[in-house]
Structure 1
């Protein structure tokens, strides 16, 4: 049974001093953390949030690296296929065009959105949010853009496209001469950078920084 005194004490605190567990919905007073520390739910052990050192600077570096990898990952050859004397260079963009020209317009549009458009839009949203924090400008727009980014997170499916590409390469090895291109290395680098960015860009610190907490902008 919940403690009535503790519940009454929590209800008297301002909202910015409270935090709720995403797993078991336990409401508790937000702990004060230093760099490198993390808060866990006392009931279920779920990580509530963590404070990472220089989160904005590190996230900015990763966003810029991902944007630099984006163009070669999507437009340089992922593999070269040599079948019956005919050679073709396949890229992510040529795959979208191939689906479109084959009459599979819906699938082509879905692949374009999930593997090219939405990942780029996510990176641009992250860049705008981080710059608004770093330069201390347009925080209200930063809040709006970060909300948009949270809705886009589930639609960027580079890892699914990556698995599909690897399966296709393995199956083609018995049918044709396949050589891997620099585009595949860039695509893997882009995927790893985005995963690294997701773990580095602490949502709790970003929300606090957008709300005006100077301590969260380092």
Structure 2
């Protein structure tokens, strides 16, 4: 763990060598970190960033895993409901269609965007950004896509949809014969992989790699 050294005069330093704490706005000189080290603000102790091993390679593996899980998570049955002799299978996609056909088109569009469209677009943006670094090609487009990805982060709400699924399962257990489907386990795996990806894909290393400052990020 690395703290920032005090700087008596920051006004003479280039902007790219400075960093501001996201919590207390303290302006500091950006330290040079080695693999496995992290930088903390000396005023409030907030961890600004860390330097992780093989960040692009590990992130690519997680993105590809998430993309493989995306289709079964959204189109395989999440649960099978048997009520009064009638059996129905529910998926994420069938839930969107059910809302649309029942007259709640606005809610259906929001659910589709937040649970299916935006998560997929986020994964595709991450994939293209990582490939631009790994292949050293089109990093200008990678910068644009990474900015777009950060704007979309607040709209991907898989965890909110998952909480809705859990509430529905708990309420339906006493009313009908309920069995969990493979789609639910794929959905949980997709959610966990995306969380792991957020932790692994260190933003400052990606920005530096896209701008050509970190030559080791693609290792």
Using the TM superposition, give the Cα deviation of residue 216 of structure 1 relative to its aligned residue in structure 2, in angstroms.
2.6
Counterpart in 2 of 1:87?
Answer: 87
Q: Distance in 2 between matches of 1:215 and 1:120?
A: 28
Let me know the Cα RMSD of the aligned residues.
1.0
Structure 1 unmatched ranges of 5 or more: none
TM-score normalised to structure 1 length: 0.96
3-state SS of 1:131 partner: helix
* Match in the other structure for 1:202: 202
Aligned length: 213
SS at match of 1:111: helix
Q: Give the ranges of 4+ consecutive aligned residues of structure 1 lying more than 2 Å apart after TM superposition.
A: 215-218
Query: 1 or 2, which has the higher helix percentage?
Result: 1
Mapped to 2, the partners of 1:207 and 1:28 lie a distance apart of 18
> Unaligned regions of 5+ residues in structure 2, if any?
1-5
Return the alpha-carbon distance in structure 2 between the equivalents of residues 190 and 24 of structure 1: 34
TM (norm. structure 2) is 0.96
Q: CA deviation at 1:17?
A: 1.0
Partners of 1:204 and 1:62 lie apart in 2 by 18
Show the counterpart of 1:217: 218
The CA deviation string for residues 72-120 of structure 1, in whole angstroms up to 9 with x for no partner, is: 0000000000000000000000000000000000000000000000000
CA contact (8 A) 2:7 2:29 kept: no
Q: Distance in 1 between matches of 2:33 and 2:146?
A: 23
- Taking the aligned partners of 2:180 and 2:7, their CA distance within structure 1 comes to 61
Question: What secondary structure sits across from 1:216 in the alignment?
Answer: coil
**Which position in structure 2 is the counterpart of 1:158?**
158
Structure 1 residue 167: Cα displacement: 0.5
Distance in 1 separating the partners of 2:96 and 2:126: 25
* Range that drifts further, 15-24 or 52-61: 15-24
SS of 2:62 mapped into structure 1: helix
Higher deviation after alignment, 117-126 or 15-24 = 15-24
SS at match of 1:194: helix
Q: Distance in 2 between matches of 1:77 and 1:207?
A: 39
